[in-house]
C-alpha cells in the first residue's frame, strides 16, 4: 500500500515538475515560493490589524504569529526530523528525473513547511474574517495553494509533502483563529 502511494506520488510529481513545464511557470513559480516576495503582504496585514484595531490589532498579530510559529516549528523541527523523507532533488534513485528550478536545499521534505506556514496564515485569516468578507476564502486558499503548487513545480517537494503540509497548516491556522475569536473579541465577527 505504502509502495503504491509513493509510486503515485512520484507520478504526480513528474506530471507537475516535467509535464507542465513551460517558460511562464519557469519564471513565475520560483518567485511565488520565495518567502521574501510576500514580506510586503505580511507588513500590510500587520499594519491593517494595528491601524484598524489598535491594541487589539496587536493581539491579532500575536495570534497570527503564534499560528505561523507553531505551524513552522512543528513541521520543520518535529515532523521533518521524525519522518526524514528526502526531497525529490535529494532522492538518489529519483534525482535524474527532477527538473530543479531552484537550489535543492539541505532540509527534509515531509511536510512542506512552505505549505504548512502559508496555509496556517490563509486559514487563520479566513476563519477570522469570513463573516465580514466572504471572498477571502477564495483569495486565501488560491494564494496558499499557488505557493504550495510552486514547491512541487520547482522540484523541492513531492505532492504528498505539500498536501500534508496544507492540511497541517490549515488545522493549526483554524484552531489558533478559534482561540483568538474566543479570547480576543476584537470586533463583531458576525458582521
Query: How many Å apart are CA 61 and CA 65, to the nearest integer?
Result: 6
Q: What is the number of structural domains in the chain? A: 1
Residue 88 within any structural domain of the chain:
yes
Residue 26 within any structural domain of the chain:
no
Residue 25 within any structural domain of the chain:
no
Residue 12 within any structural domain of the chain:
no
Buried b (16+ CB within 10 A) or exposed e, 33-55: beeeebeeeeeebbeebeeebee
Closest CA to 10 of 116, 123, 120, 91: 91
Owning domain of residue 66: 37-183
Closest CA to 181 of 131, 136, 128: 128
What is the chain's Cα-based Rg? 18
- Which pTM does this prediction carry? 0.90
Residue 155 within any structural domain of the chain:
yes
Indicate left, alpha or beta for 66 from its phi (over 0: left) and psi (-120 to 50: alpha): alpha
pLDDT tens per residue, the chain (191 residues)?
A: 788 988 899 899 999 999 999 999 999 999 999 989 999 999 999 999 999 888 888 999 999 999 999 999 999 999 999 999 989 988 787 777 888 888 887 888 899 999 999 999 999 999 999 888 899 999 999 999 999 999 999 999 999 999 999 999 999 999 999 999 888 775 554 44
Main-chain phi, psi angles of 115, to 5 degrees: -65, -45
Residue 17 within any structural domain of the chain:
no
Query: How many Å apart are CA 153 and CA 155, to the nearest integer?
Result: 5
Amino acid at each position: 500500500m505504502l509502495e503504491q502511494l509513493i509510486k503515485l506520488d512520484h507520478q504526480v510529481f513528474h506530471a507537475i515538475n516535467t509535464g507542465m513545464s513551460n517558460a511562464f511557470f519557469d519564471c513565475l513559480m520560483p518567485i511565488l515560493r520565495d518567502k521574501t516576495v510576500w514580506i510586503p503582504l505580511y507588513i500590510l496585514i500587520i499594519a491593517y490589524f494595528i491601524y484598524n484595531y489598535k491594541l487589539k490589532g496587536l493581539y491579532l498579530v500575536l495570534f497570527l504569529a503564534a499560528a505561523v510559529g507553531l505551524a513552522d516549528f512543528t513541521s520543520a523541527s518535529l515532523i521533518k526530523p521524525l519522518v526524514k523523507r528526502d526531497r525529490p532533488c535529494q532522492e538518489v534513485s529519483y534525482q535524474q528525473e527532477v527538473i530543479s528550478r531552484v537550489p535543492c536545499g539541505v532540509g527534509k521534505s515531509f511536510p512542506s513547511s512552505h505549505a504548512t506556514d502559508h496555509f496556517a496564515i490563509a486559514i487563520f485569516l479566513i476563519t477570522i474574517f469570513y463573516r465580514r468578507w466572504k471572498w477571502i476564502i477564495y483569495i486565501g486558499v488560491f494564494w496558499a495553494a499557488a505557493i504550495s503548487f510552486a514547491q512541487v513545480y520547482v522540484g523541492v517537494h513531492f505532492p504528498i509533502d505539500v498536501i500534508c503540509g496544507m492540511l497541517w497548516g490549515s488545522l493549526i491556522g483554524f484552531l489558533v483563529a478559534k482561540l483568538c475569536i474566543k479570547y480576543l473579541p476584537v470586533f463583531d465577527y458576525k458582521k
